[in-house]
A and B are shown apart, each in its own frame.
Chain A
């Protein structure tokens, strides 16, 4: 099925470890996004990309890096994990202009990350 695939689905890290979350979409979307969601809260934008080779900071970018080497993939990296980064991470993608697109953003099912 077409959509957004996130790997891994679950991960436990020790403080100071690094890891990369992978997001892949097969809808030929230009825009891709990484959000985090803490318990009982709405989603907050970490970083986003408006096309292959481009990235930009969102609301809460500190402690994260991203790369968009291929149009279909958007990687989120944690260089030195901290307990404050314990969260559920969602990736999303969309066409260039949400206002005229019929289907808005498509989200992945999330990665649940725990940093101990």
Chain B
């Protein structure tokens, strides 16, 4: 199974853009890249997913490298409410999500 590597933590200032990196050098051609986040004392919530092309939705943007060995989740204007643990996940065959340690994002006012 493809493995992902994320920094343990990152800091950002409120209302500034945040770029959360994820390395997945062993990704296969059919692996989708998913991002979830977990706010304090809550269950994880889906953020975005993609395969090859960059993706945008109301929450974030996902930039995928041309060789697909890395991706970046972009929050365009961080708010205090965006402070959470962000997980980059490549689902296993059969639809399983496996959660690693993720990146803890701290947002400073």
Q: How far is the CA of A98 from the CA of B33 in the complex (A)?
A: 11
Contact of A106 among B34, B46, B96, B102 (CB under 8 A): B46
- The 0/1 profile, CB within 8 Å of B marked 1, for residues 14-58 of chain A is 000000000000000001010100000111110010100000001
Interface size class of A (residues with CB under 8 A): 20 to 34
Contact of A42 among B45, B87, B96 (CB under 8 A): B87
Q: Which stretch in B20-28, B36-44, B62-70, B71-79 binds the other chain?
A: B36-44
Q: How far is the CA of A84 from the CA of B91 in the complex (A)?
A: 27
Q: How far is the CA of A66 from the CA of B84 in the complex (A)?
A: 30
Return chain A residues, CB-CB under 8 Å to B87: 42
Is A109 an interface residue when CB atoms closer than 8 A count as contact?
yes
| Given A42-B100, A43-B99: A98 and B34 interface contact (C-beta under 8 Å) | yes
Q: How far is the CA of A98 from the CA of B42 in the complex (A)?
A: 21
Is A2 an interface residue when CB atoms closer than 8 A count as contact?
no
Interface size on B, residues (CB 8 A): 21
Question: In residues 68-109 of chain B, which contact A (Cβ within 8 Å)?
Answer: 87, 91, 95-102
Count chain A CB atoms within 10 A of each CB in B87, B95, B96, B100 and give the residue with the most.
Answer: B95
Q: How far is the CA of A48 from the CA of B91 in the complex (A)?
A: 14
- The 0/1 profile, CB within 8 Å of A marked 1, for residues 46-61 of chain B is 1001010000000000
Question: In the complex the two chains form, is A99's CB within 8 Å of B32's CB?
Answer: yes
Residues on A lying within 8 angstroms of B by beta carbon are: 4, 31, 33, 35, 41-45, 48, 50, 58-59, 90, 92, 94, 96-99, 103-110
List 5 A-B residue pairs with CB atoms under 8 Å apart, sorted by A's residue number.
A42-B101, A45-B98, A96-B95, A98-B34, A104-B36
Known A98-B32, A98-B97; 9 more pairs at CB < 8 Å: A33-B97, A44-B99, A58-B96, A94-B95, A96-B95, A99-B91, A105-B97, A107-B43, A107-B44
Residues on B lying within 8 angstroms of A by beta carbon are: 32, 34, 36, 41-46, 49, 51, 87, 91, 95-102
